[in-house]
Amino acid sequence: MQEGRVAGAGPADYMRGMSETEHSAPLLPILIYPEPVLRKVARPITPADADEVRRLVPSMFATMYRAPGIGLAANQVGSLLRVIVVDVAPKEQPTPIALINPEIIARSDETATQEEGCLSIPDQYAEVTRPARVKVRYHDVAGIKQEIEAEGLLAACLQHEIDHLNGVLFVDYLSALKRNMLLRKLAKAQKR
């Protein structure tokens, strides 16, 4: 999810407590719509993927913070593994979360509308209505099963990034007219 008008962390101050190796994680290219991999469904991660995930997650955080963004899904950087990284906290208090095989297990009936943007659809924003609260089950990078309950910006970000893993973009929630206008603006910006 693109940072846009939300305060986020800068590239130099992420993941307090990470080793120097992780701080120097290579940046990854962010794929831009209409790249076909953005519409593909990511596959579940298995224990055989552990080494790849350990290499991927620090680079995803580094790439997300540099963008700047508040969330990033693996397929946005060309990997079809079910992993997302998020951090919606202010840059003075970074709170990075890596979610392996995340799944939404509960949604509120109440909805909330927030302006969303996407690192794969740069500099384009629209109001998106989603469930106001969600509960997400996932594994952390140590392989431990976790659950997180979220509302507000974190809930929207988690839903946005999990959508990416299912080949869904935030523009899919817009009317055809709004979606086409936004994607035309993106195409025009890319030509410049």
3 is a catalytic site residue: no
Residue 37 in contact with residue 70, Cβ under 8 Å? Answer: no
Instruction: Tell me the DSSP string of 64-120.
Output: HHHTTBSEEEGGGGT--BSEEEE--S-TTS---EEEEEEEEEEE-SSEEEEEEEETT
The set of residues, in sequence order, having a beta carbon less than 8 Å from that of 60 and lying 6+ positions away, is 28, 72, 74, 77, 83, 85, 98
Q: Which residues are catalytic?
A: 161
